[in-house]
Structure 1
Amino acid sequence: MTSDDVLDEFRGAGALREGHFVLSSGLHSPVFLQKNLVFMDAERCARLCKALAGKITAAVGPVDVAISPAVGGIIPGYETARWLGVPSMYVEREGGEFKLRRGFHVEPGQKVVMVEDIVTTGLSSRECIAAIEAAGGTVVAAACIVDRSGGRADVGVPLVALATLDVPAYPADALPAELAALPVEDPGSRRLAKV
């Protein structure tokens, strides 16, 4: 599956939006990928995650478990784990930090792939990876449906992306005039978690 194929899946779900958006990272972008519209279609989600599982296996070989950050990574993490034939777990925030909870645990040295939905800066991925390593897992790779950084996001381990896009994202104080002129939508989830 190519990056164009992935974008076609987003377009088909009505999930590729244009305008002025504040992302979960706090950066502003003219493009927003509404991944929930993609993941609510089980067949579409399965196609994407099957392809991602194939790329993971080709890149790093077999893994023991897939772990994702809550909330956005849970669905693609679970579905990718299903295609990998491994257990799926997730970390969630407790006191502002990601932790394995709800009886989830990794055995020391287990090979883990951290599965995300969309990577922009890599911050959530790095936080998730740190939590997995603190719990004893060995993160051999991170994976995502879309890397919107154009391959520039540093997550600290190899990043396997089903699609790599170079989508511009700007700090609030460095917006191009054409973006600043548009009304702002804030669909990002990170700020919602702090409420």
Structure 2
Amino acid sequence: MNTEEVLSEFRKVDALLEGHFILSSGRRSPVFLQKALVFSHPATSEKLCAALAEKLKAQFGQIDVVCGPAVGGLIPGYETARALGCRAIFTERQDGEMTLRRGFDIKEGERVVVVEDIVTTGLSMRETFTALNKFDGDVIGGACVVDRSNGEAEVGLPLVSLAAVDFPDFDPDDLPAELKDIPAIKPGSRGLK
């Protein structure tokens, strides 16, 4: 799949939104990808994540574990692991820090990738790499359905994306006139309790 095909899947389920949005990074954008709507459709999730799994196999070869950071990486992480035929685990925040819980672990020699829904700044992915590096496995890279940074986010390891986009985003103190007049909404998951 290419970027336009991925965005078409978002449009089919009314998940490519236009307005004034507060991104999880705190930046503002006139475009928001409501991935929760996309991943509420099992057939769409399967299609996108199977395509991502193919790109991961081509880049990294054998993968033993896929880790999806909660909340946004849960479904794409699971679906990508299913397509790869490997184990799926997830990290979650505990006391403000990304951690592996619930009996999950990574064994020595296991090859691990982190799968996210959307990468904007790469913060969740970097935090997940840090959490996973406490275990004996080999964290080899990351992947996302959409790279909103268009290849600019520094995640610390190779990043594979199904789609890369360059939607504008702005500092909240330096908004263009067309956004200043529209009330901002925060539809993302960062900060959920």
| Cα distance in structure 1, aligned partners of 2:38 and 2:95 | 30
Tell me how far 1:25 sits from its aligned partner.
1.1
Gap runs ≥5 in structure 1: none
| Cα distance in structure 2, aligned partners of 1:85 and 1:71 | 22
Residue-by-residue CA offset, 1:142-173 (whole Å, 9 max, x unaligned): 00000011110010001000000011111211
The aligned residue for residue 37 of structure 1 is 37
| Cα distance in structure 2, aligned partners of 1:137 and 1:183 | 46
The aligned residue for residue 63 of structure 1 is 63
Tell me how far 1:183 sits from its aligned partner.
1.3
Q: Given residue 146 of structure 1, which amino acid in structure 2 is its aligned partner? A: V
| TM-score normalised by length of structure 1 | 0.96
Total equivalences in the alignment: 193
The aligned residue for residue 81 of structure 1 is 81
Tell me how far 1:182 sits from its aligned partner.
1.3
| Cα distance in structure 2, aligned partners of 1:40 and 1:133 | 31
Determine if contact 1:64/1:112 at 8 Å carries over to the other structure: yes
Determine if contact 1:16/1:34 at 8 Å carries over to the other structure: yes
Answer with 126-135 or 81-90: which moved more. 126-135
The aligned residue for residue 93 of structure 1 is 93
The aligned residue for residue 48 of structure 1 is 48
Tell me how far 1:109 sits from its aligned partner.
3.4
The aligned residue for residue 21 of structure 2 is 21
| Cα distance in structure 2, aligned partners of 1:59 and 1:168 | 28
Gap runs ≥5 in structure 2: none
The aligned residue for residue 181 of structure 2 is 181
| TM-score normalised by length of structure 2 | 0.97
Q: Given residue 149 of structure 1, which amino acid in structure 2 is its aligned partner? A: S
Q: Secondary structure at 1:50's aligned position in 2?
A: helix
Q: Given residue 27 of structure 2, which amino acid in structure 1 is its aligned partner? A: L
| Cα distance in structure 2, aligned partners of 1:26 and 1:15 | 20
Q: Given residue 73 of structure 1, which amino acid in structure 2 is its aligned partner? A: G
Residue 161 (str. 1) matches residue 161 (str. 2): yes
Q: Given residue 127 of structure 2, which amino acid in structure 1 is its aligned partner? A: E
Tell me how far 1:187 sits from its aligned partner.
1.1
Q: Secondary structure at 2:155's aligned position in 1?
A: coil
| Cα distance in structure 1, aligned partners of 2:38 and 2:53 | 17
Residue-by-residue CA offset, 1:61-87 (whole Å, 9 max, x unaligned): 111100010111000000000001100
Q: Secondary structure at 1:173's aligned position in 2?
A: coil
| Cα distance in structure 1, aligned partners of 2:74 and 2:139 | 17
**Structure with more helix by fraction:** 1
The aligned residue for residue 106 of structure 1 is 106
| Cα distance in structure 2, aligned partners of 1:137 and 1:100 | 13
Determine if contact 1:100/1:135 at 8 Å carries over to the other structure: no
Q: Given residue 45 of structure 1, which amino acid in structure 2 is its aligned partner? A: S
| Cα distance in structure 2, aligned partners of 1:90 and 1:9 | 25
Q: Given residue 186 of structure 1, which amino acid in structure 2 is its aligned partner? A: K
Q: Secondary structure at 2:133's aligned position in 1?
A: helix
Aligned-CA RMSD value? 0.9
Alignment of 1:94-173 (within 5 A): 94-173=94-173
Determine if contact 1:49/1:79 at 8 Å carries over to the other structure: yes
Q: Percent identity?
A: 55
Tell me how far 1:103 sits from its aligned partner.
0.8
Tell me how far 1:104 sits from its aligned partner.
0.4
Runs of 4+ residues over 6 Å off in structure 1 = none
